[in-house]
Amino acid sequence: MSAAASWLLAFAGFAALSLAMHRHARDARFGPERIGGFALRRTCGWALLAASLAAALAGPRWSFALVAWIGLLGAAAASVALLLWRRPTWLPRAGVGAAVAGLLLLLGR
C-alpha cells in the first residue's frame, strides 16, 4: 500500500523537521543537550520527505500518485501539528515509529 507508506514517511519527515525548531523541541521536552541535533533532524526530515515521494511514485501510475502525494503531505503535516498541539511529548517516538514502519513498508514491497 504505497499511500500508507508515503503518509508514514511524510509524517516522520515533518516530525523531524518540526523537532528541528526551537519552539517545538521545547514543547516536546527536549533538553538543552539535544539542541545540537537540529541539523541532523533537519537532514533526516528532508530525506524522509524524499523517501515519501519515492514511496508514492513507486506505484504503476505516477501522475495519479503525484496528485495524491501532494494531498498526503498536507495531511501528514496537519497530523504533526495536531500532535504538537495536544500531545507534544509523544511526537519524537511517533515520528521514529512512523519512519520505521514506513521504511519497512517501502522496502517490503
Partner 1 sequence: MSRTAPVRGLRQSMDWLHGWVGIVFGWLIFAIALTGTASVFKGEIGDWMRPEVTAPADPDAALITGLRWLATHAGRALAWYVTAPDTRTATPFAMLQPDPAGDYVSWALDPASGSPHGIRDTLGGEFFYRFHFELELPYPWGRYLASLAGMALLVAILSGIVTHRRIFADFFTLRSGKGKRSWLDAHNLLGVLPLPFHLMISLTGVLMLITLTLPWSTMLAYRHDPAAADAELFPGVIVRERANRPAPLADPAAMVVEARRRFGGAPIGRITVENPGDAAAVVTVWQHDAAQIAYNEAWITFDGSSGRTIGFHAEQRPAMSTYNVLYGLHMGRFGDTVTRWLYFLCGLALSATIATGLLLWSVGRADIRDWPHGAVARLTVGAIAGLMLAAAGFLWANRLLPATIEARPIWEVRAFFLLWAAALMHGVVRPPRAGWREALGANALAWGLLPLVSALTVGRGLLAGAAAGDGLFVVADLVFLALAALSAAAAWRMTRPATARPARRAAA
- Distance, CA of 78 to CA of 18 (rounded, Å): 12
Q: Of 15-23, 32-40, 41-49, 95-103, which segment contacts partner 1 by CB under 8 A?
A: 15-23
Query: 88 is written with which cell numbers?
Result: 507534544
**37, 77 Cβ separation under 8 angstroms:** no
- Among 35, 40, 81, 104, interactor with partner 1 by CB under 8 A: 81
Q: 3-class SS at 22?
A: helix
Query: Which of 70, 96, 100, 104 is close enough to bind partner 1 by CB under 8 A?
Result: 70
Among candidate residues 79, 95, 104, the one with its CA nearest the CA of residue 41: 95
Residue 78 in the binding site for partner 1 (CB under 8 A): yes
Site residues (CB under 8 A) for partner 1?
A: 3, 14, 18, 21, 23-24, 63-64, 67-68, 70-75, 77-78, 80-82, 84-85
